[in-house]
Amino acid sequence: MTQLSAAQTVQNRTSDGSKALYGGKGTRRITVRDIALAKERGEKWPMLTAYDAMTASVFDEAGIPVLLVGDSAGNCHLGYETTVPVTMDEMTMLSAAVVRGTQRALIVGDLPFGSYQEGPVQALRSATRLVKDAGVGAVKLEGGERSHEQIRLLVESGIPVMAHIGLTPQSVNAMGYRVQGRGEEAAQQLLRDAKAVQDAGAFAVVLELVPAELAAEVTRVLHIPTVGIGAGVECDAQVLVWTDMLGLTGGRVPKFVKKYGNLREVMGNAVKEFAEDVVGGAFPAEENSVH
């Protein structure tokens, strides 16, 4: 586990003496109950995507309490253009790796396109696979009112569900990548979607690309936490795609992304240095050789 400074430790203790989600020292896994308590305390928390064991272990050691094995793996890890082609086999393999690489974070596995749209029974079969074969603690699926029956059956079956409304990338062919919830009618629909997933038993809901004022209203109205991505500062939690926020993604990233690193440049420069050392005979040096 990460060593916290004294100041951080104080900051990460709450008034009732329990551990804050971010930076807490315990080694047991975060649960959905911990997430619910954080909302009661008014505590904000960070979430990142992860697609492999080694990267996930870095985020876990840094104290990120919730890691999402997002189907953004499609674009960010597997080389697809969208999330649409991602399969259950791929999500199961990636989720299992992230679970193996972590000790504390709650791991949420995304249900890919086509694995739950047929109905609740298909959703239960897919979610059960992620829980049993990969070991995730919760699953995520897209859709508000249209997915409430799936959410209800999973929750009744003992599988915690994170919902995802607003922009739902699996529907890119129908909705494109546009801000959702603009205008009175769309805002009312988003509120209905948020209430529907809460009523169905979701423990949290991702709000993607939603006007900040509307996301703030949803956050006030719901008793489950909202996880914003391009949804303003009032959400209870914030999630970013890790390759975007650490600057590994090539090309343009969405406006709502803040870059906290430039891994593409760092890695590119290191790899070029290695290549030049090999070509010039500087690697391996004597200390890198065995005799």
Cβ proximity to ligand KIV: between 98 and 241 the closer is 241
- Residue 44 annotated as part of some ligand binding site: no
Residue 264: CB partners within 8 Å, gap ≥ 6?
Answer: 247, 248, 249, 250
Site map (CB under 6 A) of ligand KIV, residues 249-288, x = contact: ----------------------------------------
The residue among 81 and 287 lying less far from ligand KIV, judged by its C-beta, is 81
- Bond from prior residue into 46 cis (ω within 30 degrees of 0): no
Q: State how far Cα 45 lies from the chain centre.
A: 12
**Pairwise CA distance, residues 95 & 89, whole Å:** 10
Q: Which of 28, 258 has the CB closer to ligand KIV?
A: 258
For the four alpha carbons of 128, 111, 46 and 75, in that order, the dihedral sign comes to positive
- Cβ proximity to ligand KIV, 41 vs 209, nearer residue: 209
Could you tell me which stretch among 18-26, 38-46, 68-76, 87-95 binds ligand KIV (CB under 6 A)? 68-76
Q: Which residue has the tokens 């870059």?
A: 259
Residue 71 among known ligand-binding residues: yes
Residue 286 falls in the annotated catalytic set: no
Q: Residue 140 annotated as binding? A: yes
Instruction: For residue 53, give Cα distances in angstroms to 50, 56, 67, 138.
Output: 8, 5, 11, 18
Q: Does 139 bind ligand KIV (CB under 6 A)?
A: no
Q: Which of 94, 102, 105 is nearest to 138 (CA)?
A: 105
Verify binding: residue 241, ligand KIV, rule CB under 6 A: yes
Query: Considering the rule CB under 6 A, would residue 239 count as an interface residue with ligand KIV?
Result: yes
- Residues lying near ligand KIV in the complex (CB under 6 A) are found at 49, 68, 70-72, 110, 164, 206, 229, 239, 241
